[in-house]
Amino acid sequence: MKTQVGIIGGGPSGLLLSQLLHLQGIDTVVLERRSRDYVLGRIRAGVLEHGFADLMREAQCGERMDAEGEIHDGIFIAHDGIKERVDFKNLVGDSVVVYGQTELTRDLYEARDRMDGHVLHSVEDVKPHDMTTDAPYLTYREGDEVKRIDCDYIIGADGFHGVSRKSIPKENIREFERVYPFGWLGVLSETMPVSPELIYAKHERGFALCSMRSQVLSRYYIQVSLEDTVEDWPDDRFWQELKNRLPEDVAESLITGPSIEKSIAPLRSFVAEPMRYGNMFLAGDAAHIVPPTGARGLNSAASDIYYLYHAMLDHYKKGDDTGLDTYSQKALARVWKGQRFSWWMTMLLHRFPENSDFDNQLQQTELEYLFSSDKALASLAENYVGLPF
Ligand code: APR
Ligand code: PHB
């Protein structure tokens, strides 16, 4: 088989790029290791920057997002028994769209189906080859048969544990990492959200977050120890601990119910540089991971796709390779700003077991400063709604 752009990974990054390029007459093949049901069974975050929402519309995938997604003009930060609002609209004149990544991925799959896009599922042993030549190719296995796809370019959009980044020789890639000393326990429940806008809560017992997928589906998180397992947290214990960490009036109005999903995720910051090896380009989680505190993960992936999409258009339509040659540099400049913001939000709101009294005092002062200065709040707002591409 032959294609122009061979994409490893059928998550949001790979599917969005495939869809955008297809609409411009550029041929792609997406190779996904898992089944579609498996990919759509993963529960991930759901806050979209407006630039990302625009990209979904450009990809002709914005209809359901526009009908069912909720525009949020702000968030709350709870601390010391009160909650204070960060008003994005007033501070920076912008907002975000709350729409689950699962739904967004479903919309991308449906769009690919409508256009007879090539998305191959449950393919095994995907490998990129000859990335530093003008004739790179992919191989994968279907049953006993090894198949080959020749392409102009390979895109590694196969997430943090994918094969693309790992195929780059160690001396050609530099990795930066911070692992945080706690995880997030997440619960999905078919209950009405406790607040119309997200509440990020700092508490001496640990961080908590009240989020949502719709008016009948809530998503809550609490900071837990890395040693904890899901079995340690039956529903009753989870709800009680969540209430302990919220202001009293919020805790009192919290509607609880059985969890329909429960999982623990560790928190990590990670960047791999450069995001290019020969004719293979990395995008999304394959190249960088953020802790979920600033809702940047999916949005950082989207900005990579924006740069790659335009770079590919310039190459195929104008014969101009400047975009491809500067992709890594441009994408990383924005990626690192997302890293900074996610790290900052994480440091601001979590309980760090190793912290000294001095560290804790500084953390508290950071929060007091934030709510005493519209300029500091505007900086939070500007980063949360998304820096320009
Ligand atoms: N071969 C083929 N596909 C693979 C391989 C492989 N060796 N390894 C992983 N994959 C697939 C995964 O099964 C997954 O569906 O690549 C896809 C990568 O998708 P994501 O992990 O969702 O990454 P990305 O598309 O970059 O999306 C970034 O998703 O993980 C969140 O926080 C992240 O919200 C951000 C967004
Ligand atoms: C979520 O809804 O899952 C969510 C929202 C905001 C975050 C992290 C997760 O910062």
Characterize 280-310 residue by residue with b for buried, 16 or more Cβ atoms within 10 angstroms of its Cβ, and e for exposed.
bbbbbbbbbbbbbbbbbbbbbbbbbbbbbbb
Ligand 1 pocket check for 106: Cβ under 6 Å: no
What per-residue string of b and e applies to 114-145 under the rule 16 or more CB within 10 Å gives b? eeebbbbbebeebebeebeeeebbbebeeeee
Both 336 and 188 in one domain: the answer is no
Q: Quote the pLDDT of residue 45.
A: 86
Question: Whose C-alpha lies nearest to ligand 1, atom 10?
Answer: 158
- Written as one string, the DSSP assignment of 282-332 is E-GGGTEE--GGGS-HHHHHHHHHHHHHHHHHHHHHH---HHHHHHHHHHH
In a domain, 86, yes or no: no
Mean pLDDT of the chain: 97
Query: Does residue 279 share a domain with residue 134?
Result: yes
Confidence of residue 30 (pLDDT cuts 50, 70, 90): very high
Q: What is the pLDDT of residues 129-166, one digit of tens each?
A: 999 999 999 999 988 899 999 999 999 999 999 999 99
C-beta of 256 in contact with ligand 2 (< 6 A): no
Does residue 354 have a pLDDT over 90?
A: yes
DSSP collapsed to 3 states, 143-212? CCEEEEEECCEEEECCCCCCCCHHHCCHHHCEEEEEEEEEEEEEEEECCCCCCCCCEEECCCCCCEEEEE
Q: Are residues 9 and 152 in the same domain?
A: yes
Q: Which of 8, 158, 275, 339 to mutate to test the pocket of ligand 1 (most atoms within 8 A of CB)?
A: 158
CB 100 near ligand 1, within 6 Å: no
CATH number at residue 212: 3.30.9.10
pLDDT digits over 232-286, tens only?
999 999 999 999 999 999 999 999 999 999 999 999 999 999 999 999 999 999 9
Q: Are residues 48 and 138 both part of a single domain? A: yes
- pLDDT for 24 equals 98
Residue 84 domain flag: no
The three state secondary structure string of 194-233 is: CCCCCEEECCCCCCEEEEEEECCEEEEEEEECCCCCHHHC
Atom of ligand 1 nearest to the CA of 286: 26
Q: Tens of pLDDT along 64-97?
A: 999 999 999 999 999 999 999 999 999 999 999 9
Q: Are residues 130 and 142 both part of a single domain?
A: yes
Compute the distance between CA of residue 149 and CA of residue 128 in angstroms, rounded to an integer: 10
Return the residue whose CA atom lies nearest to atom 1 of ligand 2: 45
| Terminal CA-CA length for the chain | 34
Instruction: Kindly state whether residues 195 and 149 are assigned to the same domain.
Output: no
Q: Is the pTM of this model over 0.95?
A: yes
Number of compact structural domains in the chain = 2
Q: How far apart are CA 212 and CA 189, in angstroms?
A: 9
Q: Is 378 in the pocket of ligand 2 (CB under 6 A)?
A: no
Cβ of 210 less than 6 Å from ligand 2: no
Q: For the domain that residue 128 is a member of, what is the CATH number?
A: 3.50.50.60
Residues 143 and 63 in one domain: yes
Token duo for residue 167: 């195929």
Residue 244 and residue 196 share a domain = yes
Q: Are residues 256 and 288 in the same domain?
A: no
Which residue matches tokens 């049901």?
A: 37
Output the six-digit token pair for 5.
């752009």
Rounded to whole angstroms, the Cα distance separating 34 from 158 reads 11
**Residue identifier of the C-alpha nearest atom 22 of ligand 1:** 11
Q: Are 9 and 301 in contact (CB under 8 A)?
A: no
In this structure, the answer to whether residues 49 and 116 fall within a common structural domain is yes
Residues 115 and 168 in one domain: yes
Question: What is the extent of the structural domain holding 364?
Answer: 180-267+352-385
Q: Tens digits of per-residue pLDDT, 360-373?
A: 999 999 999 999 99
Q: Which one of the ligands is nearest to 101 CA?
A: 1
Nearest atom (ligand 1) to Cα of 289: 32
- CA of residue 25 to ligand 1 center, whole Å: 25
- Work out the angle between the directed axes of helices 297-318 and 12-23 (0-180°, nearest 10): 30
User: Is residue 82 in a domain?
Assistant: no
